[in-house]
């Protein structure tokens, strides 16, 4: 029903709906950005630990960096950070990375 009385109410309601949709979209985008940032920080922490503990050669560093960059699961990256802290050598860490 399109009457002069209902038209402003409907327009206002549609505008509120659009605003809620935009806010939800922004929130999802922010959450994805935060997750990507946290994943990047964890990946960098893993590499920093490996460098400081195991004195990685440049080719090994780049290989591990490529493999870690592909991982988006934050829990998995946290596990790998612990593995980096406890690994006796690069081979042991790579086993954890493969597992």
**Average of per-residue pLDDT across 32-54:** 92
Query: What per-residue confidence (pLDDT) applies to 77?
Result: 97
Cβ contact 58:68 at 8 Å: no
Long-range Cβ contacts of 28-36 (<8 Å, 24+ apart): 35/72, 35/74, 36/72
State if pTM tops 0.85. no
C-alpha span between 86 and 95 (Å, rounded): 12
Report domain extents, the chain.
6-98
What tens digit of pLDDT does each residue of 45-98 get?
999 999 999 989 999 999 999 999 999 999 999 999 999 999 999 999 999 999
């Amino acid at each position: 029903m399109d009457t002069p009385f209902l038209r402003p109410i409907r327009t206002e309601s549609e505008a509120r709906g659009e605003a809620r949709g935009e806010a939800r979209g922004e929130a999802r985008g922010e959450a994805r950005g935060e997750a990507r940032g946290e994943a990047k920080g964890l990946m960098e922490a893993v590499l920093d630990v490996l460098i400081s503990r195991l004195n990685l050669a440049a080719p090994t560093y780049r290989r591990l960096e490529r493999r870690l960059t592909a991982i988006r699961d934050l829990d998995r990256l946290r596990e790998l950070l612990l593995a980096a802290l406890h690994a006796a050598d690069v081979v042991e860490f790579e086993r954890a990375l493969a597992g």
